[in-house]
Structure 1
Amino acid sequence: MPHADDDAVLPRLSRALPGQPPAPPVRVVHLGLGSFHRAHLAWYTANAPDGDGWGIAAFTGRHPDLAERLAPQDGLYTLITRRADGDSYEVLGPVAEVHPATDHDAYLAHLRRLEVAVVSITVTEAGYLRGPDGHLDASRDDVAADVAALREDVAAPVTTLPGRLVAGLLARRAAGAGPVTVLSCDNLPENGAVTRTVVTDLAALVDPDLAAWVGDHVDFATSMVDRITPATTDEDRRLVEQAQGYVDAAPVPTEPFAEWVVAGRFPAGRPAWDAAGARVVEDTTPYEQRKLWLLNGSHSLLAYAGSVRGHATIDEAVADPTCRAWVETFWDEAAPHLVLPQEAVADYRRALLERFDNPRVRHQLAQIAPDGSIKVRVRIVPPLRAERAAGRMPLGCTTALAAWVLHLRGQGAPLKDPGAGPAVAAAAAEDDAVAVAGVLDTLHDGLGADTELVAAVVDRLAAVTAE
């Protein structure tokens, strides 16, 4: 397509433009519409050989802004693949309908349809509303409100992810629409089992019979998604106009690398994602651990330590020799505890450094930093505990923890973490050892009693802030 003329009035991207695909029939409902979803599940669906038969009805999270931008484009958007030597552009059309989260009637209508086979999710780790025991935190006001609303009226609007899923399953059961798969794409270990737990817990509170129906009719699939997707900027929109000659209010920048590992029965069917490059397996755990510890763990380390040291993006932070050495040390600690072959782990590490070095991606540290009270628990604590069980003091892990303590104290990237209240209170202690011990106990009961670990984290506080 010719480059845009500065004086031309550019058309808005839509299915009415020449060469754009018609909307495919809806067979997937997605909760949590955002860039991450559109760069992975939607991309794999678009590239599946049968993708033109698997449209997605996508619902936003709490904010309707994206629906307002995408709806006039009939769900179309431009995927910008950022390579070190330049960008490429691809218009994707699997999103057939775009709705704000408040369009509850449209959501329930889709769940009542036999043709809908998959409900997929990207709401971040915080959206599952688990308590310390791993079950649904039924003491939360928003959870209690959803339970009360659904007991009164099964079609009542709800606000939480577990509430929305239960509402949809109530509608599906009433319509006799048959089995369905709920597929989590969030960065949580065993995210399918996590989803099953919170949904079953809430279903039992609303209608005990529904919990039994869920057990018989709902497949909770698990997936591991690996693709770095920075936040969309005005510069991305300008580049699309210049390169493509149309206006796209919601393009998605991403990296060339993409990996998706999926485990599930999919009793009502699914797109041929495996033909588009997804790996379908019996157990995603080895891949989840590799990604959570190596990619996400080092992302968290860089988000906190790198921002304290004045960096704004992943490529900036990993170009800092000190930060890069901390990442390599953290990987050295985590790698022996992964169950994949060490040669494959080494290959993944080399690929990660290439991805992190890509100056075109510009992944903001402030985008990675939120919700550390959940992320650090699954990204840093498991390799830390494995190393301590082996009698070693892990320098990379303790550096990441020290950087998070500094983040809790207001240093580096802005603190955006609704669940961090106890950790913030602990970090405020004047005595560093008391502060660190208290923060560690918020991550795992008794972790703060490891006095050698506490001393090591206190020592790393100074190292992170050193010039």
Structure 2
Amino acid sequence: MTGRIHRTAAGLGPAAPVRAVHLGLGGFHRSHQAWYTAGDPEWGIAAYTFRNTELPRALTEQQGVYTLLVAGEEAEVVGSLSRAHAGADRESWLADLASPDVAVLTLTVTEAAYAVPEPGQDSAVQRVVAGLRARHRSGGAPITVVPCDNVPDNGAVLRSVLRSATRDDRRFAAWVEEQVSVVSTVVDRITPAPTDEDVAAALRATGLRDEAPVRTEPFTEWLLAGDFPAGRPAWERRGARFVPDVGVYQQRKLWFLNGAHSLLAYAGLARGHTTIREAVDDDALAGTVQQWWDTAARHIALDPAEVAEYCRRLRDRFAAPGIRHQLRQIATDGSQKIPARWLPVLRAERAAGRLPGAVVTGLAAWLLHLRGGEVRDPRAAELVESAGSVRRALLALDEEVGADDELVSAVEAELHRT
């Protein structure tokens, strides 16, 4: 009988001491931050989910070990997870954040989570604040929080949210301001939702049964700007870059990668496609994406040759075999994603007196998605109810966009052509 993967079977040593905590345990964390941390064997991660119980159970049975299936390359067994916890394990969460041995807290909690929680709400920010309160009460050792979600200026946004969420306690708020460093980041690695085939592929690659493998692409990027007063893993061993400011790189990724992803997701679903690779193989959609990239390139402060090379690499990544990046997965939380991915370029184009066709196509496809059911968005009920009217839907997305008569008319015309 095939054995279950674990540390001894995989040829790994004992789990490292927990010096980092992660919130948002899932595929992307394990293909990205956990993979980078595996380059420094002195750092172990205690990772927490929200409501999922099966994934932490499977990882616990495997002693935190899992298989990373890199498309077109050999599989790698990753052992940086020292512990995996379900979201209900509040006692361990508080104890880990209170521990002076823990120096870093990383987050992958989706764009929608970067908001001040309502009283009594069980949100990512509420959990972070509860953990920081436990740390403050236990002696207040410094810590660095590293948000890894596609939010523009994610470090500054999270800092602002923490200020709002802690202002009812002056002493605690002052400690957060002085002892909690918040780093800004850009993260990138396409990591599709898991499938049953991944389990079979992990077995073929390692000879061991893995109930929690992750499939990803060869490309990966991590840029960080900020301070680590209590130390950090040597993430640079696997290529992480520490830069003074991530701003222009954030724009590059949000507009060119994420913006194209959203465009392919909504327009691809409207044309009957299911994955990024299927969508980019559609000549009409490939042309729309190129039009989007040409438009965005007019407004980014990077060398045109660097932008052209980045787009070439994106085309290769989108078309790569072995990665089934589901369009419905990308289409989630559109009300949070679209304002960061499309609207800055749209505003710059409108200020120049132009109406960007790729954005018109994307907004029309987004409206079709809202009208088609199965909408996963924190504002789904409101958006679906407004989707019958282009004006109302665009006003719900952004008041300035919804008030633009020429844009509204163009989206209406695009819908009639669809």
State the Cα distance separating 1:65 from its structure 2 match.
2.0
Choose the corresponding residue for 1:144, options 96, 116, 119.
119
Contact kept, 8 Å, 1:381 with 1:443, in 2: the verdict is no
Q: CA deviation at 1:425?
A: 2.0
Q: Does 1:81 find its partner at 2:70?
A: yes
Residue aligning to 1:41: 33
Distance, in Å, in 2 between the alignment partners of 1:61 and 1:236 is 23
Deviations 1:91-140 (A, max 9, x none): 00111011111111111111121111001000111122x3xxxxx2x5xx
Amino acid corresponding to residue 442 of structure 1 in structure 2: A
> What displacement does 1:62 show?
2.1
Please tell me the residue identity of whatever aligns with 2:26.
G
Question: Are 2:396 and 1:442 aligned?
Answer: yes
2:144 is aligned, of 168, 177, 181, to 181
Indicate conservation of the 8 Å contact 1:113/1:177, yes or no: no
User: What amino acid does structure 1 have at the position aligned with 2:111?
Assistant: E
Cα distance in structure 1, aligned partners of 2:11 and 2:34: 19
CA deviations 1:44-64 (Å, max 9, x no partner) are 1112xxx11111000012222
One-letter code aligned to 1:21: G
Q: Please, which of 170, 176, 190 is the counterpart of residue 153 of structure 2?
A: 190
Match of 1:103 in 2: 89
The offset of 1:18, in angstroms, is: 5.4
Identity percentage of aligned residues: 50
How do residues 155-166 of structure 1 correspond to structure 2 at under 5 angstroms?
A: 159-166=122-129
Deviation per residue, 1:60-86 (Å, 9 max, x gap): 122222101111001110000012xxx
Cα separation, 2, equivalents of 1:462 and 1:257: 39
Which residue pairs with 1:30 in the alignment? 22
> Are residues 1:316 and 2:291 paired?
no
Contact 1:61 1:123 in 2 (8 A): no
Distance 1:398 1:61 in 2: 36
SS in 1 for 2:335: helix
SS of aligned partner of 2:199 = helix
Tell me the equivalent position of 1:3: none
Q: Aligned with 1:219: secondary structure? A: strand
1:124-165 C-alpha deviation (Å, 9 max, x unpaired): 11122x3xxxxx2x5xxxx2115xxxxxxxxxxxx2111111
* CA apart distance, 1:445: 1.8
**Aligned partner (choices 174, 180, 185) of residue 218 of structure 1:** 180
The answer to which of 88-97 and 208-217 deviates more is 208-217
| Aligned twin of 2:113 | 127
Q: Distance in 2 between matches of 1:342 and 1:121?
A: 33
TM-superposed deviation, 1:462: 3.6
In 1, the alpha carbon distance for the partners of 2:235 and 2:298 equals 31
Distance 1:254 1:18 in 2: 20
Q: SS state of the match for residue 53, structure 1?
A: coil
Q: Is the 8 A contact 2:50 2:88 kept in 1?
A: no
Q: Which residue is equivalent to 1:408?
A: 370
Q: Which runs of 5+ in 2 are unaligned?
A: none
How do residues 196-211 of structure 1 correspond to structure 2 at under 5 angstroms? 196-205=159-168, 207-211=169-173
Looking at structure 2, the residues matched to 62 and 193 of structure 1 have their Cα atoms a distance apart, in angstroms, of 27
Shift of 1:383: 0.9
Partner of 1:419: 379
> Any residues of structure 2 matched to 1:273-288 within 5 Å, and which?
273-288=235-250
Q: 1:290 to 1:387 in 2, by over 3 A?
A: same
Q: Does 1:19 align with 2:5?
A: no
Is this contact kept in 1: 2:364–2:414, CA < 8 A?
A: yes
Stretches (4+) displaced over 3 A = none
The letter for the 2-side match of 1:33 is L
AA partner of residue 120 (structure 2): A
- d(CA) in 2 for partners of 1:364 and 1:255? 14
Residue deviations 1:185-243, cap 9 Å, x none?
001111111111222211123x2321111101100111110110001111010111123
1:263-297 C-alpha deviation (Å, 9 max, x unpaired): 11011111111232111111111111110111111
Q: Is the 8 A contact 1:26 1:56 kept in 2?
A: yes
Letter in 2 for 1:187: N
**Amino acid paired to 1:215:** E
CA distance in structure 2 between the partners assigned to 1:174 and 1:297 by the alignment:
42
TM-score by length of 2: 0.97
Deviations for 1:325-345, whole angstroms, at most 9, x for unmatched residues? Answer: 111111111111112222111
Structure-2 residue corresponding to 1:70: 59
SS in 2 for 1:337: coil
Query: Quick one: which amino acid aligns to residue 67 of structure 2?
Result: T
Would you say 1:259 and 2:221 are equivalent positions? yes
Give 1:57's aligned amino acid. A
Residue in 2 aligned with 1:133? none
Work out the CA distance in 2 between the residues paired with 1:236 and 1:407. Answer: 29
Distance 2:43 2:330 in 1: 31
Find the aligned partners of 2:175 and 2:140 in 1 and give their Cα distance.
12
What is the Cα-based RMSD across aligned positions, in Å? Answer: 1.3
Aligned residue type for 1:69: A
Q: 1:41 to 1:371 in 2, by over 3 A?
A: same
DSSP-derived class of the 1:120 partner = strand
Partner of 2:414: 460
**Which amino acid in structure 1 is aligned with residue 52 of structure 2?**
H
3-state secondary structure, aligned to 2:41: helix
Distance in 1, Cα, partners of 2:216 & 2:284: 26
SS for the counterpart of 1:268 is coil
Give the TM-score, by structure 1 length.
0.87
- DSSP-derived class of the 1:144 partner: coil
* Count of residue pairs brought into register by the alignment: 418
Q: Any idea what the Cα deviations from partners look like across 1:374-395, whole Å, max 9, x if unmatched? A: 1111111111111111111100
CA distance in 2, matches of 1:276, 1:82: 18
Aligned amino acid, residue 78 of structure 1: T
Superposed CA offset, 1:294-347 (max 9, x none): 111111111111011010100000000001011111111111111222211111
Q: Tell me, which stretches of 5 or more residues in structure 1 are unaligned?
A: 1-8, 131-135, 147-158, 429-434
